[in-house]
Structure 1
Amino acid sequence: MSAIDAQDLIERYIGVWNEPDPAIRRRTVHELWAEDGVHLLRPPQEVHDRAVSLGFGTAVLQARGHAELHARVTRAHEEFVAPGTYVFRIREAARRLDDVVTFRWESFHTGDGQVTGGGLEFLVLDEEGRIKADYQFVD
C-alpha cells in the first residue's frame, strides 16, 4: 500500500462534504475513492427502525462508483452546508491500522456552534491509498 498520511486523508474527506465548488468536489471524489469505491451508511436509529418496520431486513444505504459518490456528497452538501446552516468537522483524529482508517466526525450549527450530529467513519483503503469501502455509522 502506498504511504499515506491518515490525518491528511480525513481532512480531505471532511473537506469534500463542505466544498462549495462542484468541480472541486467532483475532482476530490475521484481522488479520494477508488473507481468502484462504495459508501455505506447506517442511518440514525429512528430511520433504521422505520425501514425495518416496513419489512426491510436492514436499512443500509449505499452509493457505489464515482458518479453515485459524487451525487451522495453533493446532496449532503446541498441539504446541510450550502444553506449556511451546518458544517462538518473532524471530532477525533485519524487512527490507522494497515489498510483501515477510522475517525469520528460531527456537524455543527453555524449560527450557534451547537453540535447537531456526528458519527464514526471506518475507511478501508486500496493499494493506492484510495477509499474502497467507506462505512459510516451515524450517531
Structure 2
Amino acid sequence: MSDVNELVNQYIAVWNETDPAARRAAIDRLWAEDGTYVDPLAAAEGHAAIDSVIAAAQSHFPGFVFRLSGPVDAHHHLARFGWSLAPDAAAESVVDGFDVVVLTEDGRLRDVLGFLDKVPTA
C-alpha cells in the first residue's frame, strides 16, 4: 500500500462497505492493529472499535455515500483529504469534512483524525 491515493480510496470504500464481514476484512487490511480513529463525535482504538464507529455512521445515515471531495495531499508519513457524505453519488452533501491520516512504515493507517466542516442542524 505504498500509493497513498489508493490507500485513501480504499479508506473511503470502507466507509461505504455495508457488508459487515467485508468491512471488517478491509479494516484489518488497512489499519495497524493498534490503529485509531478520532473525530468530534467518536474515538476508537483497534479494529473492532473502528468497525463499530463506521457501522454507527452507516446506521445514522442509511444508504448515504461517502466520497472524496478533492485531491489527496501527502508528504512523509502524513496525508490529508476532504470528503463528503450525501444521499447518493450525485446529490449535494449533508456532511463535509476532512481527515488527516498518519501512516505506518509499511503504509497502513496508524491514526485517522477527522474534522467536520458541515453538519446537519437539529
* TM-score of the pair, normalised by structure 1: 0.78
How far apart in 1 are the matches of 2:36 and 2:10? 17
Aligned to 1:39: 37
Q: Is the 8 A contact 1:6 1:95 kept in 2?
A: no
Aligned to 2:16: 18
Relative contact order, higher structure (CA 8 A, sep 6+)? 1
Identical-residue share of aligned pairs (%): 34
Q: Deviations over 1:48-105 (max 9, x none)?
A: xxxxxxxxxxxxx31001110111111112221xx32x21100011111010011000
* TM-score of the pair, normalised by structure 2: 0.88
Aligned to 2:45: 64
Q: Deviations over 1:1-24 (max 9, x none)?
A: xx6111111110110111121111
Relative to 1, partners in 2 of residues 1:96 and 1:67: Cα closer, same or farther, differing over 3 Å? Answer: same
Stretches (4+) displaced over 4 A: none
How far apart in 2 are the matches of 1:106 and 1:71? 20
Higher helix share: 1
Aligned to 2:74: 96
Relative to 1, partners in 2 of residues 1:23 and 1:95: Cα closer, same or farther, differing over 3 Å? Answer: same
Q: Is the 8 A contact 1:88 1:108 kept in 2?
A: yes
| Residue 105 (1) aligns with residue 83 (2) | yes
Letter in 2 for 1:125: L
Unpaired runs of 5+ residues, structure 2, are 118-122
Unpaired runs of 5+ residues, structure 1, are 44-60
**Aligned-pair CA distance for 1:112:** 7.4
Aligned to 1:75: 56
